[in-house]
Amino acid sequence: MGRKNGTRRETYSRTPRAAENLINPIEICVNRQSQNYITIEDLLGLINHAVFDEQHSIQIYNLFTEVPLQMIVKLFLDHQIDEAVFKKYYITYIQPIYPNKELEEMLAYVSI
């Protein structure tokens, strides 16, 4: 199967597609309800610098309410965002409008 005269016949594109060119599933989730696209890196920059950008409020709220907790944890570990920064941002900007009890339980042990 897939071989001709002892050689392997390729059935996929030979053009390499770097992993960084793939759209992150979290990026898809946070941007799906908005026309103002924001990258994960820019979104994490807002959180890391404690900035609430009204232009991207939908994406910010989506990150804290629509993205599964396991994916949020992985995202912050991968990008080395401190849990205390994340919790403080949540309490300051998200919790009063869109409380997420599961997220609060997960961050209960984090002191800020």
* Domain residue limits, the chain: 13-106
Higher pLDDT, 36 or 105: 105
Average pLDDT over every residue of 85-94: 96
Which of 74, 75, 106, 71 lies closest to 90 in space, CA to CA? 106
CB-based contact 27:62 (threshold 8 Å):
no
Distance CA 41, CA 3 (A): 43
Distance CA 72, CA 64 (A): 8
- Supply 63's token pair: 């990150």
Read off the pTM: 0.76
Q: Is residue 4 very low, low, confident or very high in pLDDT (cuts 50, 70, 90)?
A: low
Q: Is the dihedral of CA 60, 64, 67, 69 positive or negative?
A: positive
- Supply 5's token pair: 């005269």
Q: What is the pLDDT of residue 10?
A: 43
Question: Residue 94 pLDDT more than 80?
Answer: yes
Q: What is the pLDDT of residue 100?
A: 94
Which of 66, 59, 61, 44 lies closest to 98 in space, CA to CA? 61
Q: Is residue 60 very low, low, confident or very high in pLDDT (cuts 50, 70, 90)?
A: very high
